[in-house]
Amino acid sequence: MSYSNYNHTYRRNRLSEPAQLLSAANLWTPTSDQKYMIGAIFETDQGERYKYCKNAATEIAKANLIQASAPDPQQKANLQTAYGESAGESKFDILVATGSGISDDDLIDGYLLVSDGGAAMGDLYTIKDHKWTTGDTVMSVTIADAGGLRVAIAATDDLTIWKNQCRDVIVKPTTLTGPIIGVTTTIVTASYYFWAKCKGFCSVICDSADDILIGNPVGHIDAATDAGAMGLITDATIDCVLGVCAYDSAVSEAGLFNLDIAGM
């Protein structure tokens, strides 16, 4: 099996210094058109890391934490009644519950998961492309694995479709509805593409209720941290740790943090 069947419309390989980013899509200049693969990585010689993202439908302020878009319930665990598929197939139709909120091309570089069923349960595939063929119920999917399905999908299996987590990102809400991706380095216009910082020194707005001090562990405390803001970790066993405070700015102002976001 291989991934030679990827969509190569946009540059996919990791970027690192001294390689040059496109001048029209640098770390502080969002663009209306896509320049790189969603989720592409840029790393500096100092170990800083950025991820290439697409904003959702609302402008995001500078120095705000962002998270992946919240999935619609209709994207999850769809029984494939009459839509099983043989092993080895790379392009096939799947059944999706009406009202999933997915449009053509939203799932490029996202995922197809066999979330329940028989022998195929647990198989995960990267989506190369997809189009609706019957309203928003039957979707034609092409997977990136040129070897096709490793195990046949049965009509009794459940399929879950998932966007690339860097597509259609939103401001981190007070209660998470998706994983945290990174931090905006500039104001990001609705639906624009941009680089979010996820590792290294970064400015983030401090939570309005926390007295964060230098050296404190920081991150997200569900239902307690302001939307988009960095909070003070009080229990690392249940809170989402995102880094350490380097400069303890006043509440609701931009502080300096050494980020290290898990999975990014």
pLDDT at 1: 46
pLDDT at 224: 85
In the three-class reduction of DSSP (H, G, I as helix; E, B as strand; rest coil), residue 200 is classed as strand
Are 232 and 215 a contacting pair, CB within 8 Å?
A: no
Q: What is the CATH number of domain 73-162?
A: 2.40.30
Are 126 and 86 a contacting pair, CB within 8 Å?
A: no
pLDDT at 96: 96
pLDDT at 7: 75
pLDDT at 15: 80
pLDDT at 18: 65
Are 120 and 154 a contacting pair, CB within 8 Å?
A: yes
Please enumerate in sequence order all residues whose Cβ is within 8 A of that of 175, keeping only pairs 6 or more positions apart, or say none. Answer: 222, 223
Are 80 and 149 a contacting pair, CB within 8 Å?
A: no
Query: pLDDT of the chain along its 264 residues, tens only?
Result: 456 777 777 777 778 776 667 777 788 999 999 999 999 999 998 889 999 999 999 999 999 999 999 999 999 999 999 998 999 999 999 999 999 999 999 999 999 999 999 999 999 999 999 999 998 999 999 999 888 999 999 999 999 999 999 999 999 999 999 999 999 999 999 999 999 999 999 999 999 999 999 999 999 998 888 999 999 998 888 899 999 999 999 999 999 999 999 889
pTM: 0.92
Are 230 and 247 a contacting pair, CB within 8 Å?
A: no
What CA dihedral angle connects 184, 10, 4 and 182, to 10 degrees?
Answer: 0
Residues of the chain with CATH 2.40.30: 73-162
